[in-house]
Structure 1
Amino acid sequence: MSFRIDQLPKKKYVVPGNAACAGCGMMIGWKILGMALGEEAVLTIPASCAAVVQGLSPKSGVAMPILNVPFASAAAVATGIAEAYRSLGVKGHAVVWAGDGGTSDIGFATLSGAAERNSNIIYIMYDNEAYMNTGIQRSSSTPLAAWTTTTPMGKRERKKDVALLMAMHGVPYVATASIAYPQDFYRKLKRAAEVEGFKFIHLHTPCPPGWRFDPAKTVEVARLAVETGVWILWEYDHGHFRLNPPSTTYADKAKRRPLIEYLKLQGRFAHVTEEQVKALEEDVEARWRSILALAKAFPQS
């Protein structure tokens, strides 16, 4: 099912008074989350940008129930909420809203545990590709060659593909999404809300100060990530693996935009050499080979 922008709910759950940076990609995603789940969601948020942009007590710039929890505990806490809902017969969604540091690194053990138990939670990893809240340090989700304060010459390791790791747990539902394609993210949230068991959505959320680009270009940068093939939109739903538009088009390498168009908008790649650009291009191709092989191996629904 597809949705037009004008068909999405109008009620706002991210309201004036939040302390996010100008052009914050995470907050765009949070708005869509509110549209999709609204009052039915209770958010568990570990230490992250999301933990601090809510506003100063006793006020909040986010009109949703939130539990702010220690870094590594988010999936475990959400599991407890889901079990309480089940025991009490309460309708609702236990949702984790966590960054890449709290997911791919510090929180991965409890995340993997919740997936192995098939906990009835929706885990959303908003991925700004570094520890932005504490000073732009690298995470395992930081791309190859990207500048951070702890990789001043560029990161030497490739980006960890957390969504694929979660799909390999054999959970009911895993998807990737981008803030540049709100209808796709909205649809995936709605689908996740229908599914019983563990659900994981990996959301790409560009960060202007951390990636060093003009805050007015957040959506442009996010869209270029998809159009150049850096970010692939796909979905794994009860054993069925499929690409989602527009990534269905970009499976054909000839239809993608040149990678350099994505890199040149970001100061974190200002230092890259031709050799590093080629390595990044090879990394993109390797990721596509894996995704296309999975799309061929798993039945299409």
Structure 2
Amino acid sequence: MAEKEQGCELFSAGHRACGGCGPALAARLLLKATGKDVIIVASTGCMEVFSTPYPETAWEVPWIHSLFENAAAVASGIEASLKRQGRSEKVVCICGDGATFDIGVLCISGAFERGHDITYICYDNEAYMNTGIQRSGATPYGASTTTSPAGTCSPGNLLPKKDMPAILAAHGAPYVA
């Protein structure tokens, strides 16, 4: 990391994340690692809601709000344009588990299959937390959500969590964690 960027905060204080929010800390650390030469694509979800309440933003780098389902497609287009222009900015998607495991999996598949040079980060909170804690493809078996409540009549979510790392690795991605 460049000396001048070590003290530089590119994710501003004053955002509206819950105290101790993991994605807010991850965003701050991500930007400390990438520096200013990055373009962030964020789908609709918790990160977008707490970090960019109109007309404000916590992002001190170029940031794009994509639709829930198409962050990877938007990032693919940005990456292709930057490559064509001979520019070196990195492109990073930051999306929740709903946008990753369910609604956006088609666009993610396309981006990974085509080999776009993007970084895709999923903050997996194991349900659609932004809209009321509904079950997602990331919800573990037996977990209680508003759409799969656990109780005397139900053990909770009856489906296993999707193995997204295996799905993405099957596309030949150079690195999946």
Query: Same fold, TM exceeding 0.5?
Result: yes
User: 11, 28, 31: which is aligned to 1:34?
Assistant: 31
Q: Secondary structure at the match of 1:97?
A: strand
Q: Secondary structure at the match of 2:35?
A: helix
Alpha-carbon deviation of 1:142? 0.8
**Hey, what's the Cα distance between the residues in 2 that align with 1:57 and 1:38?**
24
Partner of 2:48: 51
The alignment status of 1:114 with 2:143, answered yes or no, reads no
Deviations 1:241-288 (A, max 9, x none): xxxxxxxxxxxxxxxxxxxxxxxxxxxxxxxxxxxxxxxxxxxxxxxx
**Hey, what's the Cα distance between the residues in 1 that align with 2:10 and 2:129?**
23
**Hey, what's the Cα distance between the residues in 1 that align with 2:64 and 2:136?**
24
User: 155, 159, 162: which is aligned to 1:160?
Assistant: 162
Work out whether residues 85 and 92 of structure 1, in 8 Å CA contact, stay in contact via their aligned partners in 2.
yes
Q: Secondary structure at the match of 2:51?
A: coil
Q: Secondary structure at the match of 2:10?
A: coil
Which portions of structure 1, spanning 4 or more consecutive aligned residues, are displaced by more than 3 angstroms? none
Partner of 2:69: 72
**Hey, what's the Cα distance between the residues in 1 that align with 2:176 and 2:52?**
31
User: 86, 89, 100: which is aligned to 2:86?
Assistant: 89
Q: Which amino acid in structure 1 is aligned with residue 138 of structure 2?
A: S
The alignment status of 1:124 with 2:121, answered yes or no, reads yes
User: 141, 146, 159: which is aligned to 2:143?
Assistant: 146
Work out whether residues 43 and 96 of structure 1, in 8 Å CA contact, stay in contact via their aligned partners in 2.
yes
Work out whether residues 8 and 32 of structure 2, in 8 Å CA contact, stay in contact via their aligned partners in 1.
yes
Structure 1 gap segments, 5+ residues each: 1-7, 176-301
Alpha-carbon deviation of 1:69? 1.1
Partner of 1:173: 175
The structure-2 alpha-carbon separation of the partners of 1:55 and 1:76, relative to structure 1 and needing over 3 Å to count, comes to closer
Work out whether residues 70 and 104 of structure 2, in 8 Å CA contact, stay in contact via their aligned partners in 1.
yes
Query: TM-score scaled by structure 2?
Result: 0.90
Work out whether residues 43 and 65 of structure 2, in 8 Å CA contact, stay in contact via their aligned partners in 1.
yes
Structure 2 gap segments, 5+ residues each: 151-155
Partner of 2:10: 13
User: 132, 135, 139: which is aligned to 2:132?
Assistant: 135
Alignment of 1:216-227 (within 5 A): none
Deviations 1:112-150 (A, max 9, x none): 011111111111111111111111111010111111111
Work out whether residues 10 and 36 of structure 2, in 8 Å CA contact, stay in contact via their aligned partners in 1.
no
Alpha-carbon deviation of 1:56? 2.7
Q: Secondary structure at the match of 1:79?
A: helix
Work out whether residues 18 and 62 of structure 1, in 8 Å CA contact, stay in contact via their aligned partners in 2.
no
More deviation, 101-110/28-37: 28-37
**Hey, what's the Cα distance between the residues in 1 that align with 2:9 and 2:86?**
28
**Hey, what's the Cα distance between the residues in 2 that align with 1:17 and 1:24?**
13
Partner of 1:297: none
Query: TM-score scaled by structure 1?
Result: 0.54
Q: Which amino acid in structure 1 is aligned with residue 79 of structure 2?
A: A
- The size of the alignment, in residue pairs, is 168
Alpha-carbon deviation of 1:59? 2.2
CA RMSD of aligned residues (A): 1.4
